[in-house]
């Protein structure tokens, strides 16, 4: 809908440019948008104000001039005016507004989708929690954000892939294996002591038990000498079990990945050495000594020459090491290889969802990717801020050590997937979030999931009534929808496709829940002030059924994008 108005305006601007009022070439961007204030019409444009400088006319005069050029013979707009400092406001014809109702119903589940991103392949990588333990709530937030962003790209016409990067290489994997072996040994009656840094938690015992169940005493010999690396098969066994848990936990909050990418394969296939070689050829690798960081020094800091990548040439603050002191690759080196691999898979856009604690990595990864591909904006990293668990306003203590650690699973079991997802998505990712378990289960307005779902269920209830009374949509006369309340409700439905597009472009899923809450609110108000079913006026009742059916469709579609259910009864 907005597109049509945009074309109307741009046609006039081009014409004025041809007449020599504006200079040749590119003009500054003006906008066509939906005004906040309803009295300002359905759409408005700031074109006259933006272009006033070039026309050397005052904004309002220019607006008047433009307004006179609008074609008179169309059925879209029935009134337009110049307002305020020079806005041009468009008021759509009522006929055109009403027409959106059947349009929406016809589009059904597809309503709101666009081909905005047609032909573009986008990959969203998210969660990527280490397979060394259960997921916590912070992972959950990243998971839900990533999933919703992926959905937004999908409904706006992009081809989307969801990928999970498995950090199955590096020291922590060995620690996991050793921890499992220790618990395994314990199961056979041997006394053990958990060394510093190992994972003592209950889930490790569970893994040890299933290892014993499968392999019996097979690893007892290995469990005696724990100085070296644990057997690869034990490590793999442990990680597969944990990944299985992660997978099923993600499934309980409605998240499914298309692709699971193993970091280990980068090492085993020599991808990391290859990428270092490529960077070397570009002259971006050197052996050097880093300045010690200012502020508090790490205790074991020692100055030593390292293999460094010149990330400073791409905006980073210092150059970054690629090799550890023992000669193995750093996490960063693997990450470069990983991102290059993603780029080579032919995506037009890569999106990473990271926890805020990884924020310091953004510049160096983007730097490396730019150096390798020459593309500056291939990768977008969305940082998701921390989640503070709270119960009734009191912080919930969390510590991995004492096992007072609240897992994502526990939270989902307590408050339900819908509430978890909705609450996570009703905040912009940039803001840290207090997740109150008490509020999350409360069925009040504190908890907008229920507010939106209730509107949806309510509409279903009306339809159940309508069936009993023998009133159906086919008896409705659309033209009977004439109150401002009704037209405003339709207008709101009409903006849904634009909302999805804006949310996708800005990677801001939180706009969707906010929209749904507003739509639900408009509906509830309408419901309370208008009788929908009136046996004495079936054409009107049918028309109103058509209207709320369209509302129901949009609520359903919106909840679906968020991965939240739309119940028919509550």
Which C-beta is closer to RNA: that of 169 or that of 340?
169
Contact yes or no for 272/309 (Cβ under 8 A): no
- Restricted to residues 24-53, the positions that interact with RNA (CB under 7 A) are 31, 33-37, 39-41, 44, 46, 49-50, 52-53
- Candidates 300, 402, 474, 484; binder of RNA (CB under 7 A) is 300
- Candidates 415, 517, 554, 559; binder of RNA (CB under 7 A) is 517
**Is residue 339 near RNA by the rule CB under 7 A?**
no
Judged by CB under 7 A, which stretch of 100-108, 138-146, 269-277, 444-452 contacts RNA? 444-452
Give which of 462, 389, 460 is closest to 420, Cα–Cα.
389
Residue 180 is encoded by which pair of tokens?
């499992």
**Is residue 527 near RNA by the rule CB under 7 A?**
yes
**Is residue 133 near RNA by the rule CB under 7 A?**
no
Judged by CB under 7 A, which stretch of 3-11, 97-105, 338-346, 459-467 contacts RNA? 459-467
- Candidates 25, 119, 227, 295; binder of RNA (CB under 7 A) is 295
Residue 464 CB, shortest distance to RNA, in Å, is: 6
**Is residue 118 near RNA by the rule CB under 7 A?**
no
- Candidates 10, 114, 159, 172; binder of RNA (CB under 7 A) is 172
> Which residues are 285's β-sheet partners?
309
DSSP string for 174-185: HHHHHHHHHHHH
Which own/partner contact pairs does 23-29 have at CB distance under 8 Å and 24+ positions apart? Answer: 23/54, 27/51, 27/54
Judged by CB under 7 A, which stretch of 134-142, 265-273, 276-284, 527-535 contacts RNA? 527-535
- Restricted to residues 477-516, the positions that interact with RNA (CB under 7 A) are 498-499, 502, 505-506, 508, 510-511, 514
d(CA 19, CA 334): 58
Give which of 81, 75, 79 is closest to 95, Cα–Cα.
75
Contact yes or no for 63/16 (Cβ under 8 A): no
Residue 29 CB, shortest distance to RNA, in Å, is: 7
- Restricted to residues 177-206, the positions that interact with RNA (CB under 7 A) are none
Contact yes or no for 368/309 (Cβ under 8 A): yes
Number of residues that bind RNA (CB under 7 A): 106
DSSP string for 121-173: EEEEE-----TTS--BHHHHHHHHHHHHHHHHHHHTT-EEEEEEEE--SSHHH
Judged by CB under 7 A, which stretch of 91-99, 148-156, 210-218, 325-333 contacts RNA? 325-333
**Is residue 290 near RNA by the rule CB under 7 A?**
yes
**Chain CA centroid to CA 201, Å:** 31
Judged by CB under 7 A, which stretch of 72-80, 213-221, 223-231, 329-337 contacts RNA? 329-337
**Chain CA centroid to CA 486, Å:** 32
**Is residue 314 near RNA by the rule CB under 7 A?**
no
Residue 66 is encoded by which pair of tokens?
């433009």
d(CA 491, CA 92): 10
């Amino acid at each position: 809908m907005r597109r049509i108005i945009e074309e109307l305006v741009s046609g006039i601007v081009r014409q004025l440019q041809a007449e020599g009022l504006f200079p040749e070439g590119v003009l500054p961007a003006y906008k066509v948008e939906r005004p906040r204030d309803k009295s300002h019409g359905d759409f408005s444009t700031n074109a006259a104000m933006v272009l006033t400088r070039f026309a050397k006319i005052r904004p309002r005069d220019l607006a008047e001039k433009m307004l006179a050029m609008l074609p008179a013979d169309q059925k879209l707009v029935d009134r337009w005016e110049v307002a305020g400092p020079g806005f041009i406001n468009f008021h759509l014809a009522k006929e055109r507004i009403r027409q959106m109702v059947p349009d929406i119903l016809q589009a059904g589940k597809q309503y709101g989708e666009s081909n905005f991103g047609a032909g573009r392949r986008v990959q969203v990588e998210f969660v990527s929690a280490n397979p060394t333990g259960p997921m916590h709530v912070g992972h959950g937030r990243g998971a839900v954000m990533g999933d919703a962003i992926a959905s937004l790209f999908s409904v706006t016409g992009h081809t989307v892939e969801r990928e999970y990067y498995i950090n199955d290489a590096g020291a922590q994997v060995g620690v996991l294996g050793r921890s499992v072996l220790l618990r395994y040994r314990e199961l056979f009656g041997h006394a053990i002591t958990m060394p510093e840094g190992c994972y003592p938690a209950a889930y490790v015992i569970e893994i040890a038990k299933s290892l014993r169940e499968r392999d019996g005493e097979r690893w007892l010999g290995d469990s005696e000498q724990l100085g070296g690396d644990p057997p690869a098969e034990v490590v793999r066994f442990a990680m597969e079990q944990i990944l299985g848990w992660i997978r099923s936990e993600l499934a309980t909050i409605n998240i499914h990945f298309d692709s699971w990418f193993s970091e280990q394969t980068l090492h085993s296939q020599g991808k990391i050495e290859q990428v270092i070689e490529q960077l070397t050829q570009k002259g971006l690798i050197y052996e050097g000594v880093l300045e010690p960081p200012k502020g508090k020094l790490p205790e074991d800091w020692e100055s030593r020459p390292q293999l460094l990548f010149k990330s400073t040439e791409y905006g980073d603050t210092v150059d970054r090491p690629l090799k550890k002191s023992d000669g193995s690759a750093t996490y960063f080196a693997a990450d470069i290889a990983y991102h290059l691999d993603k780029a080579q898979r032919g995506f037009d856009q890569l999106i990473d969802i990271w926890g805020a604690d990884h924020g310091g990595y953004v510049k160096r990864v983007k730097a490396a990717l730019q150096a390798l591909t020459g593309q500056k904006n291939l990768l977008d990293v969305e940082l998701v801020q921390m989640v503070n668990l709270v119960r009734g306003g009191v912080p919930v203590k969390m510590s991995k050590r004492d096992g007072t650690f609240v897992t994502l699973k526990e939270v989902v079991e307590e408050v339900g997937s819908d509430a978890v997802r909705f609450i996570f998505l009703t905040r912009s990712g940039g803001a840290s979030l207090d997740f109150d378990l008490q509020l999350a289960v409360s069925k009040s307005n504190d908890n907008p999931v229920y507010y939106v779902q209730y509107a949806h269920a309510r509409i279903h209830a009306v339809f159940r009534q309508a069936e009993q009374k023998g009133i159906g949509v086919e008896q409705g006369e659309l033209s009977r929808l004439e109150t401002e309340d009704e037209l405003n409700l339709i207008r709101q439905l009409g903006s849904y496709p634009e909302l999805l597009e804006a949310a996708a472009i800005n990677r801001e899923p939180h706009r969707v829940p906010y929209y749904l809450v507003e739509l639900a609110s408009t509906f509830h108000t309408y419901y309370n002030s208008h009788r929908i079913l009136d046996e004495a006026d079936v054409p009107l009742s049918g028309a109103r059924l058509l209207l709320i059916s369209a509302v129901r469709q949009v609520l359903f579609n919106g909840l679906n994008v968020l991965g939240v259910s739309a119940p028919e009864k509550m």
